[in-house]
């Protein structure tokens, strides 16, 4: 190994995703040890095992996690990327499970961050901190003001499991990607937040709480994933250059979206007291997930550009509502040029509950070519009747993909498949199985 070119050895070391592995390599080779200071990244995460040992009867036998990080950092000549945090099993530990008033894993602590940040700020481009919620949830951090003061070349910032302040933040014009996940943010209306990141292009706000009337107003934003907490709120999003949006919420009191350049949109919520969206002139792919599809379709503007549409009825279960007014006629009235339609299992159950799934004014829809459906087969005869109603009158339909739930008994699935393929032999069929939390699985012909 020592005979390899130094550039190749350095490349090997840089591909190690865990800085602990780099430290082990330094012990095995003098060449590794000599070249390791030229690495430009740190990736260090505390494991659940290390945390448990640090709380044992002899905690002094475990080197403090922060000390390990500082030692690694002090040996590097130039740092461009820092990724520090706790591993996923440890992130699942909640304050209700264990009371921990220590600060050894409080990684967004102002003193700790300020101590090492000033040493690398000039070259730092990427920063990711995943804090330990048990220690950070009751301690407010000034991480964001510190980063904005020192890291003028930072382009990507990711912070998870922390209580953050945005007070006295400086603008960060170089930052283009920001992720805040499971964060308590002290900014009720996001005003300072919008001012601080003027050139942001990628924004992920996942489970960020503390808002009353959150408003995202970012002129250069192109991709956004915004997952809002359960509390009702007034949500506003004004983003003239946004292309991709995933918005998840439960029951916003008011929802207003102004994104004229949007082309890919995933909207998931129960319902809103006030729903307002400006027309989307460029929207081509739309995933709609709500409690009552029919209600939202009544408020959604007619969108001529949508070609691929996915429908999912959130929390719909058989017997929850005896009758639904959700029909494909209403879907194609709002999205008249859709050629590819995906209907998830809950939405299909809602469709089955309708007296006429197509609607009274169905015209055959020659542009409607591709259908993908997810079935539970709770009542196979009722499901087949609904399938027959749709397939018999969709004159342009050619490609059909049907996914049956993995828990459906084999002979029930085989019988349903045989009836479908026999009645509509002209269609191009694809079959598969699905289950919540698992990837869809395609089934070869004859495998059922």
Q: What does the pLDDT profile of the chain (448 residues) look like in tens digits?
A: 556 555 555 555 555 555 565 555 555 555 555 555 557 788 888 888 888 888 876 766 788 889 988 988 888 888 888 999 998 777 667 666 677 788 899 999 999 999 999 999 999 999 999 999 999 989 999 999 999 999 999 999 999 999 999 888 999 999 999 999 999 887 766 888 899 999 999 999 998 877 778 889 999 999 999 998 766 678 899 999 999 999 998 888 888 999 999 999 999 988 777 888 888 999 999 999 988 788 788 888 899 999 999 999 876 554 454 567 788 888 999 999 999 999 999 899 888 888 788 877 777 778 889 999 999 998 999 999 999 988 888 888 999 999 999 999 989 999 999 999 999 998 999 999 999 889 999 988 756 5
Q: What is the pLDDT of residue 40?
A: 74
Distance (Å, whole) CA 283 – CA 289: 16
Distance (Å, whole) CA 120 – CA 81: 9
Distance (Å, whole) CA 248 – CA 3: 54
- 254-258 and 274-277 strand pairing: parallel
Distance (Å, whole) CA 236 – CA 199: 19
Q: Specify the 3-state DSSP secondary structure of 415.
A: helix
Contact 401, 371 (CB under 8 A): yes
Torsion of CA 204, 205, 206, 212, to 10 degrees: -170
Q: What is the pLDDT of residue 25?
A: 53
Residue 286, both tokens: 């739309």
Q: Specify the 3-state DSSP secondary structure of 49.
A: helix
User: What are residue 434's DSSP bridge partners?
Assistant: 405
Q: What is the pLDDT of residue 269?
A: 84
Q: What is the pLDDT of residue 322?
A: 53
């Amino acid at each position: 190994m020592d005979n390899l070119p130094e550039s190749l050895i350095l490349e090997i070391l840089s591909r190690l995703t865990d800085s602990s592995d780099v430290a082990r390599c330094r012990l095995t080779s003098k060449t590794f040890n000599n070249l390791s200071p030229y690495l430009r990244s740190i990736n260090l995460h505390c494991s659940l095992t290390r945390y448990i040992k640090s709380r044992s009867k002899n905690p002094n036998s475990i080197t403090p996690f922060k000390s390990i990080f500082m030692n690694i950092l002090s040996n590097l000549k130039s740092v461009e990327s820092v990724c520090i945090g706790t591993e996923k099993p440890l992130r699942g530990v909640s304050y209700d499970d264990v009371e921990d008033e220590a600060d050894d894993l409080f990684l967004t602590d102002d003193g700790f961050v300020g101590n090492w940040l000033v040493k690398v700020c000039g070259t730092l481009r990427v920063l990711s901190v995943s804090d330990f919620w048990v220690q950070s949830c009751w301690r407010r951090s000034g991480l964001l003001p510190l980063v904005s003061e020192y890291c003028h070349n930072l382009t990507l910032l990711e912070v998870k499991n922390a209580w953050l302040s945005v007070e006295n933040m400086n603008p960060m014009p170089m930052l283009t990607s920001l992720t805040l996940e499971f964060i308590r943010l002290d900014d009720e209306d996001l005003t300072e937040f919008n001012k601080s990141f003027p050139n942001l292009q990628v924004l992920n706000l996942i489970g960020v709480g503390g808002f009353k009337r959150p408003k995202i107003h970012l002129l250069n934003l192109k991709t956004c994933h915004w997952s809002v907490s359960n509390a009702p709120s007034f949500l506003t999003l004004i983003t003239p250059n946004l292309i991709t949006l995933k918005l998840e919420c439960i029951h916003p009191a008011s929802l207003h979206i102004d994104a004229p350049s949007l082309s890919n949109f995933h909207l998931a919520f129960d319902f809103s007291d006030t729903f307002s969206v400006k027309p989307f002139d460029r929207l081509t792919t739309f995933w709609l997930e709500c409690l009552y599809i029919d209600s939202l379709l009544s408020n959604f503007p007619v969108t001529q550009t949508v070609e691929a549409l996915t429908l999912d009825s959130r929390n719909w279960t058989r017997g929850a509502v005896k009758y639904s007014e959700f029909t494909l006629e209403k879907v194609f009235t709002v999205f008249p040029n859709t050629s590819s339609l995906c209907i998830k299992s809950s939405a299909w159950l809602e469709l089955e509950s309708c007296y006429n799934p197509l609607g009274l004014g169905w015209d055959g829809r020659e542009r409607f070519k591709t259908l993908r459906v997810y079935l539970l087969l709770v009542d196979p005869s009722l499901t087949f009747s609904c399938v027959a109603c749709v397939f018999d009158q969709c004159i342009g339909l050619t490609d059909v993909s049907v996914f049956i739930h993995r828990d459906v008994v084999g002979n029930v699935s085989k019988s349903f498949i045989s009836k479908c393929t026999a009645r509509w032999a002209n269609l191009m069929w694809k079959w598969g199985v699905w289950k919540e939390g698992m990837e869809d699985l395609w089934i070869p012909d004859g495998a059922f």
